[in-house]
């Protein structure tokens, strides 16, 4: 019985081993058959056949970058700036108006009035007085003013001043419906501080633009040979229709009256100009009470002394204003101030030499003609006596002159 058990175990064992070898042999044959159909590379090129490869296209990897959240302090600062601008707009925009100049329509349209031009303005008191530019209302037969809430009323001109390009018009509305602006101070302005304009560019009412004060002390041509001094330059967008609107600081105070742009296209190119509010403060009270303002004048034409002039004309000083011409019957002529006596050409430019050189006014040094103009316009009145420090024939002296009105 034991012998039979051993035979059976062995038989079964032998049968399993033989089956395993048969299976292994068949697997090797199948594998060889498959490999014979598939290109095989051993890492070295074959001598008899060229190596063929198939470059698989790489699967693109999509990387999603999630921006890091800004610090809460930065977000809070940006939100505070937004709230400041919103607050300024909501406080000041009710004072800003759209001004339409109306004129007679062409004959086929009967007696209707048609818009001839438009600009902006802003309410300055509860009596319904509105400041704008002279060039907005100059020659207007009828004016129509539209307020921020859609209220439309007629207006009349109280006074105009072409020399400062300022004007005052008046509307008849209850005081409780008027929300005047607050005036700031243009004397302490600094380049880089905020400048905010509100107006009606291209007739788009209630438009706010922001920027900075980009330069100070510009002069802007006005009527005749005179110029507006201390003009504010800004990169806030100023376009046709903004004229007469307010330029504001970060407190919402008026620092200027938007007046002009410098552009080759007629639209904003980042260089706008505003009449300084301190000139407005001098002119507007007279326009309200008298309808006009008499600007003080000395009655001279002059040129800023440059190193080139010093060299070419052998001038005795390096800075100041060389007087080229004195106006007849002017304060300067009455004070005995002398203009140039002969013309010379300097690099193609005619210059009158031989005149007095102004170096100071009321003990303040003067190095540019613009500074002399600015002092007279911003700090003096008609009938006021001034002291001029001058150099004549190499000698320093002081001359007194009483300022008169511009013609």
Confidence of residue 372 (pLDDT cuts 50, 70, 90): very high
pLDDT at 96: 98
The residue that leads in pLDDT, 54 or 327, is: 327
Does position 271 have pLDDT exceeding 50, yes or no?
yes
123-142: pLDDT as tens digits: 999 999 999 999 999 988 89
Residue pLDDT, tens place only, 219-234: 998 766 689 999 999 9
Alpha carbons 275 and 293: distance in angstroms, whole number: 15
pLDDT of residue 159: 96
User: Catalytic site residue 135?
Assistant: yes
Give the CATH number of domain 92-177; options: 2.30.29.30, 3.30.210.10, 2.40.10.10, 3.40.30.10: 2.40.10.10
Count Cβ atoms within 10 A of the Cβ of residue 84 and give its class: 0-12 exposed, 13-18 middle, 19 or more buried.
middle
Q: With 90 as the cut, is the pLDDT of residue 172 above it? A: yes
CA distance 150 to 172: 15
Residue range(s) of every CATH 2.40.10.10 domain in the chain: 92-177, 194-289
Give residues with Cβ within 8 angstroms of 135, minimum separation 6: 165, 243
Contact, 167 vs 119, CB < 8 A?
Answer: no
What is the token pair recorded at 107? 């004959």
Compute the average pLDDT of residues 87-96: 97
CA distance 186 to 403: 24
CATH fold of the domain at 194-289: Thrombin, subunit H (2.40.10)
Is residue 91 pLDDT above 60, yes or no?
A: yes
According to the per-residue pLDDT averaged within each range, which of 23-37, 53-67, 71-85, 132-146 is highest? 132-146
Q: For the residues 50-78, what does the mean pLDDT come to? A: 75
Q: What is the pLDDT of residue 164?
A: 95
Neighbours of 352 (CB within 10 A): 18
pLDDT of residue 366: 94
36 classed as catalytic? no
Band the pLDDT of 117: cuts 50, 70, 90: confident
Average pLDDT over residues 343-356: 92
| pLDDT of res. 374 | 95
Q: What is the predicted pLDDT for the residue at 404?
A: 96
Provide mean pLDDT across the span 293-322.
95
Average pLDDT, the chain: 86
> Is 356 assigned a catalytic role?
no
Residue of 188, 187, 206, 186 lying closest to 197 (CA atoms): 206
Predicted pLDDT at 10: 36
pLDDT surpassing 90 at residue 2: no
Cα 131 from Cα 182, distance rounded (Å): 12
Rounded average pLDDT over 171-188:
96
Q: Burial-class residue 162 by CB neighbours within 10 Å (0-12, 13-18, 19+).
A: middle
Mean pLDDT of 42-49: 46
Given a contact cutoff of 8 angstroms between Cβ atoms, the answer to whether 68 and 107 are in contact is no
The CA-to-CA distance between both ends of the chain, in Å, stands at 151
In the predicted model, what is the mean pLDDT of residues 349-356? 93
Residue 76 clears pLDDT 50, i.e. is over it: yes
So what CATH class is 296-405?
Answer: mainly beta
Options 120, 164, 186, 243, the catalytic residue:
243
Catalytic-labelled residue, pool 161, 165, 235, 356: 165
Per-residue pLDDT band for 60 (boundaries 50, 70, 90) equals confident
Residue 184 is predicted with a pLDDT of 97
% of the chain at pLDDT higher than 70: 83
The yes-or-no verdict on residue 306 having pLDDT over 80 is yes
What percent of the chain is predicted at pLDDT more than 90? 70
pLDDT band at 305 (very low <50, low <70, confident <90, very high): very high
Residue 80, pLDDT > 70, answer yes
Q: Kindly report which listed range (256-260, 267-271, 336-340) carries the lowest average pLDDT score.
A: 267-271
Handedness of CA 169, 174, 177, 182 (dihedral sign): positive
Structure tokens at 301: 């034409």
Give the largest CA-CA distance in the chain: 159
Question: Residue 248: pLDDT above 80?
Answer: yes
């Amino acid at each position: 019985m034991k012998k039979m058990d051993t035979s059976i175990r062995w038989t079964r064992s032998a049968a399993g081993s033989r089956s395993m070898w048969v299976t292994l042999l068949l697997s090797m044959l199948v594998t060889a058959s498959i490999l014979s159909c598939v290109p095989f590379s051993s890492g070295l090129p074959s001598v008899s056949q060229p190596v063929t490869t198939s470059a698989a296209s790489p699967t693109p990897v999509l990387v999603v970058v999630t921006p890091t959240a800004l610090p809460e302090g930065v977000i809070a600062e940006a939100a505070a700036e937004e709230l400041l601008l919103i607050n300024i707009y909501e406080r000041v925009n009710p004072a800003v108006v759209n001004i339409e100049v109306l004129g007679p329509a062409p004959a086929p349209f009967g007696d209707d009035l048609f818009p001839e031009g438009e600009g902006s303005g802003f309410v300055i008191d509860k009596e319904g007085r509105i400041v704008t530019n002279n060039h907005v209302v100059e020659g207007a037969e009828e004016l129509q003013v539209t307020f921020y809430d859609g209220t439309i009323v007629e207006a009349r001109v109280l006074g105009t001043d072409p020399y400062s390009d300022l004007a005052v018009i008046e509307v008849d509305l209850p005081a409780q419906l008027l929300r005047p602006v607050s005036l700031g101070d243009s004397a302490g302005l600094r380049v880089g501080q905020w400048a905010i304009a509100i107006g009606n560019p291209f007739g788009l009412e209630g438009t706010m633009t922001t920027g900075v004060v980009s330069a100070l002390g510009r002069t802007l041509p006005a009527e005749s040979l005179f110029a507006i001094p201390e003009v504010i330059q800004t990169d806030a967008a100023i376009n046709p229709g903004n004229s007469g609107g307010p330029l504001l600081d970060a407190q919402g105070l008026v620092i200027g009256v938007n007046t002009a742009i410098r552009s080759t296209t007629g639209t904003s190119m980042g260089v706008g100009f505003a009449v300084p509010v301190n000139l407005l403060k001098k002119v507007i009270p007279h326009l309200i009470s008298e309808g006009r303002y008499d600007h003080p004048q000395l009655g001279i034409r002059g040129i800023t002394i440059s190193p080139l002039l010093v060299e070419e004309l052998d001038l005795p000083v390096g800075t100041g204003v060389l007087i080229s011409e004195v106006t007849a019957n002017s304060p300067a002529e009455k004070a005995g101030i002398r203009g140039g006596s002969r013309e010379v050409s300097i690099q193609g430019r005619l210059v009158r030499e031989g005149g007095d050189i102004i170096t100071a006014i009321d003990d303040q040094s003067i190095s540019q003609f613009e500074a002399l103009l600015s002092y007279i316009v911003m700090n003096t009145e008609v009938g006021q006596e001034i002291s001029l420090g001058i150099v004549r024939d190499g000698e320093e002296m002081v001359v007194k002159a009483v300022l008169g009105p511009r013609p």
